[in-house]
Amino acid sequence: MDISRNIDNLRDRTCECGGKIFTHALALKEIPSLYSPSGKYETIMSHIGFVCIGCGKRMSLRPEVEEKEKSMLTLVKGN
């Protein structure tokens, strides 16, 4: 099944503060020299998601579905 949509017609994700612009969020992890490939103390980056540039809140990649948007399908037991 091929579903193609114009990206301009899709709903924008927004932060609670109303922000619509997000940036990558990285955590810096320390690697002791014992575990480092170089044998020296190192720092690596770990991507942890996206944050709103307006307020700094971290955003989930999966939008929370409001009750009214949940499936209207109801399974009922047959005879």
pLDDT, average across residues 11-21: 92
Residue 50 lies in a domain: yes
Q: Which residues pair with 43 in a beta bridge?
A: 30
Tally the domains of the chain. Answer: 1
Separation of alpha carbons 43 and 16, rounded Å: 33
Name the band, by pLDDT with cuts 50, 70 and 90, for residue 17. very high
**Beta strands per DSSP E along 1-79:** 22-31, 42-52, 58-59
For β-strands 58-59 and 22-31, DSSP reports them as unpaired
Does residue 4 carry a pLDDT above 60?
yes
User: Does residue 22 belong to any structural domain of this protein?
Assistant: yes
The helix/strand/coil state of 15 is coil
User: What is the distance between the alpha carbons of residues 27 and 44, in angstroms, rounded to a whole number?
Assistant: 8
30-73: per-residue pLDDT in tens? 999 999 989 999 999 999 889 999 999 999 877 776 655 555 56
Could you tell me the residue range of the domain that residue 45 belongs to?
12-59
